[in-house]
Amino acid sequence: MAKYLKPEDIKGDDLVYYIERHEGPFAAHIIGGGYGNDSNVKKEFGIYPAPKTVHHGHYIFTPRSYQEKFGKQVEEKVKDPKYIDSVVKNCEQAGHNIINSLIEISKNAENVSSYNELASLLEDYYQKTQKYCSYYVVAAFQKPMTKLAESVAEKYAKDSSERENIFKLITSPSKPTRSDKEQDDFLTLLIEQQKGQDVEKKVEKHSKKYGWLAVRYLKGNPWSIDDIKQRIEGVKEVNADEKLELRLEERARIDSDVTKFINSIDQEERDFVRHVRDIVYLRTRRAEYLDEASAHILPLLYKVADLLHITYDDMLYLTPPEVVNSLKLQKGLSDELRANMLERREDFVSIHPGDGSSIIFSGRDLSDFISTRPVLNKDIATKQKEVSGDIAFKGSVQGTAKIVRDSEDLEKVSIDDILVTINTFPHFIAAMERAKAFVTDEGGILCHAAIVAREMQKPCIIGTKIATQVLKDGDLVEVDANNGVVKILSPRSAK
């Protein structure tokens, strides 16, 4: 295998669909480039080579050969009791560091207007952020950690019901994430508001403390005071006191049950349980660090886009090195780069070889590349009347489907709607509070949607693969999370 992945080495029969993410070349360079950076992943995880990604628009593929080799090494690494402890500790430290670094870079950018100074700050930003994104390979730990959880549950369960309960305990996060704490604080705020107290200052404090949760892949804007007020208005009928009490009681019950279970099993398996729960926590927390850091850097990125006389949305179709080089030239975008940017808005393929760089195809080059790799044209059969997936939390409800593909779609979700999405993230919380049930294309039992569904006790079906393609906004659907099936009862066009 070559040291770095080359386009000519990517074979169509080796590519497999991985995930869908709405990120352009700018964010893909940072996240995909960090996720697949061989030297950084080897340094932080002791694994080589790193898994690689090939982005075709919003769809992300991975060469099976790289993914399998990485997975086998992870399975061996997690047998060491100290390994996961080290991963969690190092990721949390790196997360705090990237937030502090981007705060400092953003402050330094406030009084800077020259091309070269902004280029230097932007370069510092994307290099440090890409290095942090090596921790995104934690997502690839899900399969081996799920196997561990299943093996422990199978060994100690007397029947299928007990096996399911043990598995849920093992796959609960080891501690609350920042989005968990935000929900607690929001309910506390709602309780005070419902009691007639003046919460104006507390609303402002809440928006400043947690506003970054609305930012994902450099898209979205931090929650404002008005956003928090609208959220309060949207759930004003909720018994916040009771809901918070139930959340805290459930969290305490899970911790108590986990402690009892751990005390009843062998020492080696105690370590397995602890490590699975740590990885469940880290899957969400490592993304929260990046989202919070990204919210701080937005003013710098807006300033750079203005200086180059392009919109911020257009700039996200360039790579950070391309933007830095354009700043250094002090002439704005070249005609060639501007043409490339416009082509990429139509469609693109972005490859991350393993050295932190990006190779991008668009226009005619894109057509030539895809023609020999037809798997990149991800076609979905959309005439189905139902989809199926894995059960994250049982229950059966009916409601109106609302398809959420990115942050801008979240406001579509009203009370008692069915939230249908690719996957959920911390900034989905307000919409998840309003929704009656959740259905996702992606995710395993350790994913964010599954965890939140168990906390909110709402029916949830994950890993359907095609729900966002089959279901349409306005469809009346039944989410049968007792059997893992979503049925279209009445299509939107029939209403």
- Per residue in 126-155, pLDDT tens? 999 999 999 999 988 888 888 889 999 999
pLDDT at 380: 54
pLDDT at 495: 44
Gap between the Cα atoms of 39 and 54, Å rounded: 19
Mean pLDDT of 213-233: 91
Backbone φ and ψ of 361, nearest 5°: -115, 140
Mean pLDDT of 390-405: 95
- Per residue in 159-172, pLDDT tens? 999 998 999 899 99
Mean pLDDT of the chain: 92
- Per residue in 35-49, pLDDT tens? 999 999 999 999 999
- Per residue in 245-275, pLDDT tens? 999 999 999 999 999 999 999 988 999 999 9
pLDDT at 62: 93
Question: Which of 372-376, 382-386, 417-421, 445-449 is the most confident on average?
Answer: 417-421
Q: Does 23 or 100 have the greater pLDDT score?
A: 100
- Per residue in 189-207, pLDDT tens? 999 999 999 999 999 999 9
Task: State the SS3 of the chain.
Answer: CCCCCCHHHCCHHHEEEEEECCCCHHHHHHHHHHHCCHHHHHHHHCCCCCCCCEEECCEEEEEHHHHHHHHHHHHHHCCCHHHHHHHHHHHHHHHHHHHHHHHHHHHHHCCCCCHHHHHHHHHHHHHHHHHHHHHHHHHHHHHHHHHHHHHHHHHHCCCHHHHHHHHHHHCCCCCCCHHHHHHHHHHHHHHHHHCCCCCHHHHHHHHHHHHHHHCECCECCCCCHHHHHHHHHHCCCCCHHHHHHHHHHHHHHHHHHHHHHHHCCCHHHHHHHHHHHHHHHHHHHHHHHHHHHHHHHHHHHHHHHHHCCCCHHHHCCCCHHHHHHHHHHCCCCCHHHHHHHHHHHHCCEEECCCCCCCEEECHHHHHHHHHCCHHHCCCCCCCCCEEECEEEECCEEEEEEEEECCHHHHHHCCCCCEEEECCCCHHHHHHHHHCCEEEECCCCCCCHHHHHHHHHCCCEEECCCCHHHHCCCCCEEEEECCCCEEEEEECHHHC
Sheet order of strands, 54-56 included: 15-20, 59-63, 54-56, 349-351, 359-361
pLDDT at 492: 81
Given a cut of 80, whether residue 2 has pLDDT beyond it is no
Where do we find the tokens 């690689």? 52
Mean pLDDT of 173-198: 94
Beta-carbon contacts of 136 under 8 Å, excluding residues fewer than 6 positions away, are 31, 34, 35, 286, 287
- Per residue in 312-326, pLDDT tens? 999 999 999 999 999
Q: Tell me if 368 sits within 8 A of 376, measured CB to CB.
A: no
Gap between the Cα atoms of 472 and 489, Å rounded: 12
pLDDT at 371: 93
Q: What percentage of residues in the chain have a pLDDT greater than 70?
A: 98
pLDDT at 27: 97
Given a cut of 90, whether residue 298 has pLDDT beyond it is yes
- CA 255 vs. chain centroid, Å, equals 25
Mean pLDDT of 376-394: 82
pLDDT at 382: 58
pLDDT at 34: 97
